[in-house]
Structure 1
Amino acid sequence: MTDKVAPKAKDLKVRRVLPEDAAAWRPLYRGYATFYKRDITDAILDQTWVWLHDPVHPLEGLVAVASDGKLVGLAHYRPQPKPLQGNDAGFLDDLFVAPDQRGRGVGRQLIEHLASIARERGWSSVRWITANDNATARRLYDDVAVATHWVTYELKP
Structure 2
Amino acid sequence: MADLSFRALKPGDAPDLAPLIAENAQALKRGAPRRPDEVFSERLLEDKSIEIIGAFEGETLVGFAAFFDIPDLISGLRIGQLDDIYVVQNHRQTGIGRTLVEEISRIGKERDWLHVRWLVPNKNKVDNSLFENLAEPDDKDSFIVPIDRLALA
Q: TM-score range by the shorter chain?
A: 0.7 to 0.9
Map of 2:28 onto structure 1: 36
**1:70 offset after TM fit, Å?**
0.6
| 1:102 corresponds to 2:102 | no
| 1:21 corresponds to 2:28 | no
Map of 2:101 onto structure 1: 111
Structure 2 CA distance, aligned partners of 1:71 and 1:41? Answer: 18
Q: TM-score, normalised by structure 1?
A: 0.81
What 5-or-longer segments of structure 1 have no aligned partner? 1-8
Count of residue pairs the alignment pairs up: 145
Q: 1:53, 1:60 within 8 Å by CA — same for their partners in 2?
A: no
Select which of 56, 79, 89 maps to 1:65: 56
What 5-or-longer segments of structure 2 have no aligned partner? 148-153
Structure 2 CA distance, aligned partners of 1:71 and 1:42? Answer: 14
Structure 1 CA distance, aligned partners of 2:44 and 2:77? Answer: 23
Letter in 1 for 2:102: E
Structure 1 CA distance, aligned partners of 2:81 and 2:140? Answer: 15
- Quote the sequence identity (%): 30
Structure 2 CA distance, aligned partners of 1:74 and 1:13? Answer: 12
**1:75 offset after TM fit, Å?**
0.7
* Bigger RCO (CA 8 Å, 6+ sep): 1
Q: 1:61, 1:74 within 8 Å by CA — same for their partners in 2?
A: yes
Q: TM-score, normalised by structure 2?
A: 0.83
**1:154 offset after TM fit, Å?**
1.0
Structure 1 CA distance, aligned partners of 2:116 and 2:85? Answer: 13
**1:131 offset after TM fit, Å?**
2.3
Q: Which runs of 4+ in 1 moved over 3 A?
A: 38-43, 133-137
